[in-house]
Structure 1
């Protein structure tokens, strides 16, 4: 299954194989796909890998299952054009999954340096050790071994320490954040978030009827302490959400003195802080402080995911909180996340044996190298059209058009050229960042980036607003 693309996850190869099957010409309205066992034997991979690829296609609406019959799919040619209802995010999601698209909009840093092989190898070894894992007492908040490993990793002093009972693991980041919104009672409450903000988080808050107050990151990467103080004085702010270090999608870092000023302000007002730690491990230069190193741990909740550093084989989300233990445990129990204990044990062993840290050293170097290549190309070919925010980490680049353009029309024009970008308006609920876009520099395959950037330049020129 690895073929010529050794860096791919196994499920990605299965996913591509299935999309080819779906796209093959057929006279039937629906296409019956091979069973899990048939594909596992045919492709020499595990049934769980096949199941994961099928689940992705199900989420995309391209595959459906029939009890006692199997999986079926409609050919792509019979699917309607994306975005006919005008939802920009849906258009992006559907377009990014169509065959032959150059996805400039992605944010999947781990795909540059997959950790699936060590993870699955450990999983197989654990399965041999525990062929019939005894049923432990119910662990609705996640496998104890992994929760213990995370608690140790986040502990930095006797005061800023965490224990396994403070850690909660869910099936994915969205599910964990949904529980947190319920436990904190954020419906109709005012929550301050950095802007631009990840669209997944924004849509989740919007769906939960949270009053999102956007707090723009300044051009130098700092946060406006005066604006935050005014918000805290004039509005009943329930929670402030901060990036632990790296602010994504901008890829910027607030200066140390600015972070300290913000921390002092939050301490003075005694406001709860929710720290987004999804990208902190992807800073190109390590060793910087995190907001949690400056904040009162009694008013702090941290959330993150393994997916950004390990990849889709580890989609779990997690949070750390010293408070609300009874409510959190009840919600996790009611949610009844189905998490593989063996997969969680394998992730814990990757932390314990230092494999995660070794992996991160390589991944950061690869991301930095790709960032340099991409920013050079952008300056050389689009320097008169785009302002590039130099990223300090991560897999994406935040850019602003120097001309006034209709970014939606730029987006639609590029789709016709099989190129997908992420317009900046997706990262705001208040109409901010209309002249921005997020580009991905961490491609896992071979792409003609120069040609793609030429198409981008043409689209920006043609959609300029006079």
Structure 2
């Protein structure tokens, strides 16, 4: 912070700095603030400027002077969490975005480092390389990105994709909405495996499509008899299944089960909508075939998001399909998605130069380290209260409460203590998994993890009447 010319601006800047320091402190704490001299040196302002900023905070009741010791901040405790009229998902999202909550709900996995600087560097090179014609760089960024994605998914002369098989959208939700509109699934049903991402489930719900849920077994397999019965007795036209890794369950379907599922889909002529969002997060990729390599390619749709591999700088989603070109093209043209050409070109270069692969290797290494630590800490603090296993990938752990305790009331009680978990019933439209929860690495310091798990353990004991 450079010393400003205006003394009024200086004390206001110091005031805002101190307010941010206080807001970052733990709720209910009583903490010593920086001294006048230290803060003046740190911010390159006068001691009198710091003194005036502290006097404003003292007048507001945010800090209290202690003779011969300095200023102390008393941070108010968290207000009781207020449920949002029974909307569990709204409660989760609201409190997971609060800086004062310890979030163990296991949200989006974070890459070890952002690709933003790399993307911007490539974009600058492209601007120098290609003149702007009509406000856009040449050649067409969309074609280059679609070509790169088609090449990435091509496995052989039999299992190949071309640029015209790739459809791009602004984000995952708009991609799925457009795809479902093209498929025209009225008066039919969709089979999904659960637990499933609530984002995906609610797209089907909003589209008023009947969803038939098949719970995953402990090893990642399915009840094949139940699956076959649904395909035989229900008007199922589409099945959404993971290509490899199923999150938040954290499992990979055994090879025998994958072969059996593919045979049933082919036998009943059911389209596969393959969810490839998380396959890059497998800790041990292995040599087993993806589900898309086992089904009829004429009834195959594959979707994923660039955000999972590139990061938030590229939130775009894509779909691969060899069939339905007419209906799909019509729906995507009607939506009129306009993606930045320069960013598309830069992302395509990331893939072609192998930088995304390096990025994903770093991400998997970090996830492996954190998952191992999370698993060991959960064994230490919750080993007798939860049933769980080391996942095959991703950044979270799916667990079942051993005692007969539902996780929705547990979720609300934990909110009162400043802790956020993800109740299991969020991952099912029919309210299954009421004794399950999803846990992940906290966003704060590493020391927050043992604290959060101990709070959860204490609350589970209270819930079960063991204390």
Calculate the TM-score normalised by the size of structure 1: 0.79
Residue equivalent to 1:330: 330
Q: Are the aligned partners of 1:405 and 1:465 in contact in 2 as well (CA < 8 Å)?
A: no
- Distance (whole Å) between structure 1 residues aligned to residue 84 and residue 103 of structure 2: 20
- Distance (whole Å) between structure 2 residues aligned to residue 118 and residue 451 of structure 1: 37
Q: Are the aligned partners of 1:112 and 1:444 in contact in 2 as well (CA < 8 Å)?
A: no
Report deviation, 1:286: 1.4
Q: Are the aligned partners of 2:102 and 2:444 in contact in 1 as well (CA < 8 Å)?
A: no
Residue equivalent to 1:9: none
Residue equivalent to 2:252: 253
User: Which digits, 9 at most, give the CA deviation of each residue in 1:300-338, with x for residues without a partner?
Assistant: 000000112222111111100111212222222221223
Give the 3-state SS of the residue equivalent to 1:262 in structure 2: helix
- Distance (whole Å) between structure 2 residues aligned to residue 339 and residue 261 of structure 1: 39
Q: Are the aligned partners of 2:132 and 2:138 in contact in 1 as well (CA < 8 Å)?
A: no
* Residue 434 in structure 1 maps to residue 438 in structure 2: no
- Distance (whole Å) between structure 1 residues aligned to residue 436 and residue 138 of structure 2: 47
Residue equivalent to 2:458: 458
Report deviation, 1:290: 0.6
Q: 1:451 to 1:126 in 2, by over 3 A?
A: same
Residue equivalent to 2:52: none
Q: 1:104 to 1:123 in 2, by over 3 A?
A: farther
Gaps of at least 5 residues in structure 2 are 2-16, 25-76
Within a 5 Å distance, the mapping from 1:276-315 to structure 2 comes to: 276-287=275-286, 288-315=288-315
Residue equivalent to 1:341: 341
- Count of paired positions: 395
Give the 3-state SS of the residue equivalent to 1:454 in structure 2: helix
Give the 3-state SS of the residue equivalent to 1:158 in structure 2: coil
- Distance (whole Å) between structure 2 residues aligned to residue 200 and residue 314 of structure 1: 18
- Distance (whole Å) between structure 2 residues aligned to residue 240 and residue 134 of structure 1: 43
Report deviation, 1:151: 0.3
Within a 5 Å distance, the mapping from 1:61-460 to structure 2 comes to: 83-130=83-130, 132-134=132-134, 143-287=142-286, 288-441=288-441, 443=443, 446-460=446-460
Q: 1:444 to 1:152 in 2, by over 3 A?
A: farther
Q: Are the aligned partners of 2:104 and 2:442 in contact in 1 as well (CA < 8 Å)?
A: no
Report deviation, 1:139: 12
User: Which digits, 9 at most, give the CA deviation of each residue in 1:340-362, with x for residues without a partner?
Assistant: 11111111101000011111111
- Root-mean-square deviation over aligned CA pairs: 2.8
Q: Which moved more, 1:427-436 or 1:223-232?
A: 223-232
- Distance (whole Å) between structure 2 residues aligned to residue 133 and residue 444 of structure 1: 46
Q: 1:293 to 1:335 in 2, by over 3 A?
A: same
Report deviation, 1:115: 2.4
Report deviation, 1:102: 2.0
Gaps of at least 5 residues in structure 1 are 2-16, 25-76
- Distance (whole Å) between structure 1 residues aligned to residue 360 and residue 271 of structure 2: 30
- Distance (whole Å) between structure 2 residues aligned to residue 133 and residue 244 of structure 1: 41
Q: Are the aligned partners of 2:130 and 2:137 in contact in 1 as well (CA < 8 Å)?
A: no
Give the 3-state SS of the residue equivalent to 2:309 in structure 1: coil
Report deviation, 1:446: 4.2
Report deviation, 1:206: 0.8
- Distance (whole Å) between structure 1 residues aligned to residue 120 and residue 220 of structure 2: 39
Give the 3-state SS of the residue equivalent to 1:240 in structure 2: strand
- Distance (whole Å) between structure 2 residues aligned to residue 270 and residue 213 of structure 1: 17
- Distance (whole Å) between structure 2 residues aligned to residue 465 and residue 250 of structure 1: 29
Give the 3-state SS of the residue equivalent to 2:191 in structure 1: strand
Residue equivalent to 2:9: none
Give the 3-state SS of the residue equivalent to 2:111 in structure 1: helix
Q: 1:108 to 1:442 in 2, by over 3 A?
A: farther
Q: 1:186 to 1:363 in 2, by over 3 A?
A: same
- Distance (whole Å) between structure 2 residues aligned to residue 210 and residue 139 of structure 1: 40
- Distance (whole Å) between structure 2 residues aligned to residue 90 and residue 173 of structure 1: 19
- Distance (whole Å) between structure 1 residues aligned to residue 332 and residue 139 of structure 2: 9
Report deviation, 1:442: 7.1
- Distance (whole Å) between structure 1 residues aligned to residue 355 and residue 171 of structure 2: 22
Residue equivalent to 1:49: none
Give the 3-state SS of the residue equivalent to 2:438 in structure 1: strand
Q: 1:363 to 1:137 in 2, by over 3 A?
A: closer
- Distance (whole Å) between structure 2 residues aligned to residue 118 and residue 416 of structure 1: 42
- Distance (whole Å) between structure 2 residues aligned to residue 457 and residue 134 of structure 1: 61
Calculate the TM-score normalised by the size of structure 2: 0.79
Q: Are the aligned partners of 1:102 and 1:420 in contact in 2 as well (CA < 8 Å)?
A: yes
Q: 1:220 to 1:125 in 2, by over 3 A?
A: same
User: Which digits, 9 at most, give the CA deviation of each residue in 1:200-237, with x for residues without a partner?
Assistant: 11111111111000011111111222111111111111
- Distance (whole Å) between structure 1 residues aligned to residue 200 and residue 337 of structure 2: 20
